[in-house]
Structure 1
Amino acid sequence: MKVLFVHQNMPGQYREFASWLGAKGTHEIVFLTQRRNNPKIGGVRTVQYAPHHKPAQDAFGLSKVWEEATGAGFGAASAARKLDDEGFRPDIIIGHTGWGEMLFLKQIWPDVPILGLFEYFYRATGGPVGFDPEEPVNAHAPFLLEARNAVPYAALHQVDRGIVPTQWQHDRFPPGFQDKLHVLHDGIRTDQLLPDPDVRLRLGRLEHHVSRDDEIITYIARNMERTRGFHQFMRALPKILNARPNARVIAIGGSETSYGKASDHPGGLRGEMEAEVGHLIDWSRVHFVGRVPYPEFCKIIQVSRCHIYLTMPFVLSWSMMEAMAMQATIVAADVAPVQEVMTHGKTGLLVDFFDPDALAAQVAEVLENPQAYAHLGPAARNHVVENYDFLTKSLPGLVDHINALVPPDKAITL
């Protein structure tokens, strides 16, 4: 089979599947992406494309996202036409619909089926917009959000079938999408993500390694921003550290803004929160390590006695489910996307997103009485293995979706 993957930031949600498919050695695979310095995936040829057009910084807000999406779509289509001229005609196209790259591929290959990933539908209620009173919504927000939905609306008519990672994300889409959308998570490599009771980790300014014997608290987000509750994490730190004088905190993440409004503080949200609560924090026990390589991320989770996962109602982070797979004891925000995957008292502990005191008290309790919560990590891992494992759940489901769209002689075998 000839397969075309499309994702502006290769490999994205196709990290595991593209690697698995490429390793079979029986398919011709091309990955179309904007990303430079692409990761090398065995058996996969990477083709970089450039957007044909990008909107001006001061472009009209209600059409800016659509202008950017069509520029990306035309750039991807131009690269696809070149592939076709070279003799590559895919049997199926698999890609993310969110940025417009998939909008015009049917103009190149009208009869090639498309399996599209739909990640998020924007609404003025029920998600991160308007959730936090500290981020008031202006009168234009509903119009801007609906304008962003021009991309998924258009993409719906370009794909033959759609996948949504979770039920909560699925339910954000309007009824007109439902016939084409199927819930299937990207998958967690639970066979590789395991607990390690003997893990040892070196932190930069310490002369000794830390291990599972230490009181290590962890927090992880792609970027330290309000959507991922960084402000509430920082507000909880003084009480956590005061209650547990031997505790140490490791925070992973960048200082940019992926979602929502950026902080007006020159030091970003981290600078803003340090100005608010920094005088109450023992900084000798707090380690901001930035973004780290994946193996180091795993070690940090494995050494953690209590992992904090905060989010507004939004797309669930892989890191939470990866932490569950590694049997972390997790204290998480009590919001709908988390509730879909985690049950309070059984696979984790849920606290009010807006109550940093409750967060601090729960974390301190876990650190003080780890044996009382020792059942949570194994139960969390079992839940992820049974419902979200890549090899046994996501991979067979994805193969079934693909095989439903291609002729029998092109079907993928497990």
Structure 2
Amino acid sequence: MKILFVHQNMPGQYRELVQWLAAQGGHELVFLTQRDPAPQIAGVKTVQYKTHHRPAENAYGLSKVWEEAAGAGFGAAMAARQLERSQGFKPDLVLGHTGWGELSFFKQIWPDVPILGFFEYFYNMEGGLVGFDPDEVVTESVPFLNHARNMVPFANIQSVDLGHVPTEWQKNTFPESFHSKFYTCHDGIRTDLLAPDPGASLSLSRLGRAITREDEIFTYMARNMERARGFHIFMRALPRILSERPKARVLIIGGNEVSYGRQSTHPHGFRGEMEDEVGHMLDWDRVHFLGRVPYTEYCRIVQLSRCHIALTMPFVMSWSLLETMAMQATVVSSDVASVREAITHGETGLLVDFFDPGKLADQVVDVLANPGDYAHIGPAARAHVVGTYDFMTRCLPEHIRQMNSLVPSDRWISLPG
């Protein structure tokens, strides 16, 4: 099959699928992206496109998101047209993320080519990020700005032949009128490549030695240290955890930028803001900010962690939550609907009130103090992820079935076995 992938940040949610297809051979795979430099995947041709328009800094707020999406969509469409004209490439199927408008004009290029679009999130006034945190002021303009952001999925539901959402919670953020075009299936986690490792170790330059499972290590991770992923709650719980567990060390993974929500006004970002608030109460010799780390190092960190903290407001489920569960981590997360889809409290993880740093500290301290009481959670978490979110056995067959449903049978992709 000839497949065109479209994602501004290649490979995005197609990480496992595109690599699996490339490994099978016999398919012509092209990936259209804004990423520069783009990652190179054997068997995949990468083509970069440029947006044709970016809104001015003072652009009208209600049209700003659509202006940017239209620029990205037109840029992607022009790159697709050039692919056909210069290289004769016309796909049998297009797969792409709808959130940035990249797919908006593909039917104007190829009216007869089916499109399978990834739908990630629909902005509502209740049940998601907006209005969840009482410290975040919701002004009278927010409902209008929210609805204006949704112009992109409104346009793209008409552009696609089929929509894909990874979880039921995410599906239900969208209006019911979208649901008839959706199928729900996670992107997939390679649980065959993720497992516990009792022998995991990691060198810490500050200590001058490697740490192992014998050390009392707990961890926190987010792409960026921000409110949406509960960094402020974690930091407010940290002094008490370290005070009550004098031999414990915390390893913190993540950048200091913003993926979701407002920027911090602190010159050193949200991390600096929280250090100013609680830093005087911390034993800094036992606090290790590691920044963003290579994937293999991240796995080792999780494998040697006795308790992994993964906080979030109601928002899209992160891959890392499921990956840590696959590695049999004892995960403490937020008691919000998006997480409850993956974690049952006391069985496959532990859930605490997002806004209560005291309860978070209590739970982490108890896990560190009484690991035997929680020894059942890691294996149960892994079993749940293997049975529900495993890429090879659960998610890949469904994705291939849905892809095949859009093309003639002589172009179908075969599954092994």
TM bucket normalised to smaller: over 0.9
Deviation, 1:258, is 0.6
Q: Secondary structure, in 3 states, of the residue corresponding to 2:219? A: strand
Q: Secondary structure, in 3 states, of the residue corresponding to 1:93? A: strand
Aligned to 1:387: 388
1:292-315 superposed Cα distances (whole Å, 9 cap, x missing partner): 110001011001000001000001
The 5 A counterparts of 1:138-287 are: 138-287=139-288
Aligned to 1:24: 24
CA distance in 1, matches of 2:193, 2:176: 38
Deviation, 1:343, is 0.3
Q: Secondary structure, in 3 states, of the residue corresponding to 1:384? A: helix
1:63-99 superposed Cα distances (whole Å, 9 cap, x missing partner): 0000000000000010000011121010000010000
Aligned to 1:366: 367
Residue 291 of structure 1 pairs with residue 292 of structure 2: yes
Deviation, 1:128, is 1.1
Aligned partner letter, 1:384: V
- Structure 2, gaps ≥5 residues long: none
Of stretches 264-273 and 238-247 in structure 1, the one that deviates more from structure 2 is: 264-273
Aligned to 1:82: 82
Of stretches 260-269 and 363-372 in structure 1, the one that deviates more from structure 2 is: 260-269
Give the structure-2-normalised TM-score. Answer: 0.99
The 5 A counterparts of 1:56-95 are: 56-85=56-85, 86-95=87-96
Deviation, 1:264, is 1.4
Q: Secondary structure, in 3 states, of the residue corresponding to 1:21? A: helix
CA distance in 1, matches of 2:179, 2:24: 33
CA distance in 2, matches of 1:278, 1:363: 19
CA distance in 2, matches of 1:402, 1:316: 23
CA distance in 2, matches of 1:88, 1:330: 46
Deviation, 1:204, is 2.4
Aligned partner letter, 1:97: T
Q: Secondary structure, in 3 states, of the residue corresponding to 1:157? A: helix
Q: Secondary structure, in 3 states, of the residue corresponding to 1:307? A: strand
Aligned partner letter, 2:4: L
Q: Secondary structure, in 3 states, of the residue corresponding to 1:191? A: helix
Aligned to 2:53: 53
CA distance in 2, matches of 1:266, 1:316: 30
- Which 4+ stretches in 1 moved above 2 angstroms? none
1:100-124 superposed Cα distances (whole Å, 9 cap, x missing partner): 1000011111000000000000011
Aligned partner letter, 1:131: F
Aligned partner letter, 1:96: H
Deviation, 1:249, is 0.3
Equivalent residue pairs, number: 414
Deviation, 1:230, is 0.1
The 5 A counterparts of 1:296-311 are: 296-311=297-312
Q: Secondary structure, in 3 states, of the residue corresponding to 1:31? A: strand
Aligned to 1:125: 126
Q: Secondary structure, in 3 states, of the residue corresponding to 1:308? A: strand
Aligned to 1:36: 36
Q: Name the Cα RMSD after superposition.
A: 0.6
CA distance in 2, matches of 1:40, 1:192: 21
Deviation, 1:208, is 1.3
Aligned to 2:320: 319
